[in-house]
Amino acid sequence: MSERNGFRNDLFFSRTNDFLNIYLPSQAVRSACTVKTYLDGLTVFRRYVTDTRKISMKKFRFSDCTHDFLLDFMAHLRDRGCKESTCNNRLAAVKSYLWYAADGDVSLQSIALGASRVPFMKETKPIRETIPDGACAAMLAAPNLQKKNGLRDMAIMVLLYDSAMRVSELLGLTLSSLYLDAAIPYVRIHGKGDKERIVSLTDKTVAHLRTYLSRFHVEGCPDKPLFYTVIKGHLSAMSSGNVERIITKYADQVRKEHPEMPRRPGPHMLRRTRATGLYQDGVELELVSRILGHSSPQTTRIYATPSMKMMQEAMGGSIGGMPEEEPLWTDNEDELARICGLR
């Protein structure tokens, strides 16, 4: 029987080192993050084999990695409280490794095929919270406009909501990004992928911005950050943490009257709320996608939650054993794992 890294080629972990350190990064050109995910998955599987099933790495063969064995592995992960997505990542690592091994050894193809038939767990879609209309309106109206910072906070929240921009895009705006005197006022946004887009602004947002500019941008410097902080005389763009705190502050203020206010609202929830509202108001998904700066309307579909009215209207319409051989390594499973490129 031929050997690899001191392991017989029929042993399951005989090729993990090459898979993780040569094939994935160099031949498959996978990212370091992907390689780490596969390493984590195979390491968890190794510990299941050696620690839970009490099978030495020197004895666990490819042929032992049966359909039922992998089903038991998945059940073990669930019993430990792993999320469906985590379980699926672990299984995907094992499946990918088996196909890699089978590509170099045709006798392993039936094993890889059997593993491929182990189903992934159905993942529960995360609940993407939005801010209910009444709570959102109350929060946007909460700042005290008699105070300078109240004017700033109002401008930040209203602009975030009206334009549905990302917080990073908001903080990248300068005074020259605003076109409030155009026939149809708009803001020019520098978004992901170095792409620019323009989004029109409502009259109410324009009015709040004009009031804000009259107090915070008296000198009219076009390259000055639209929203900024001054610390020890140094002016810089406001941080995303500050924007988070502003939104949290006013959400907390109105929560007593609006207990439906989500526990942790933030800039992205404002964006999601606006996008969902546009869709439910009948705006075409492709246009919502352009407003959000998505490269594809498919990405925007996560916001396409139908309203009760929309649903109501829709419903109204229509291998054998191997001979024993002299072991080449000690019985230390941790050392064997290290040799195989695992942890």
Q: What is the DSSP pairing of strand 7-8 with strand 3-4?
A: antiparallel
Q: How far separated are the first and last CA of the chain, in Å rounded?
A: 26
Q: Which two tokens stand for residue 183?
A: 């026939």
Strands (E), the chain: 3-4, 7-8, 178-179, 186-190, 196-200, 228-231, 234-237
Q: Which residues are catalytic?
A: 166, 192, 268, 271, 294, 303
**Positive or negative torsion for Cα 151, 264, 165, 302:** negative
Tokens of 61: 């063969």
Task: List phi, psi (to 5°) of 258.
Answer: -130, 75
Q: CA nearest 73: which of 111, 39, 40, 45?
A: 45
Q: How far apart are CA 295 and CA 115, in angstroms?
A: 36
SS3 200: strand
Residue 238: name the closest of 206, 216, 269 by CA.
216
Are 211 and 151 in contact by the 8 Å Cβ rule? The answer is: yes
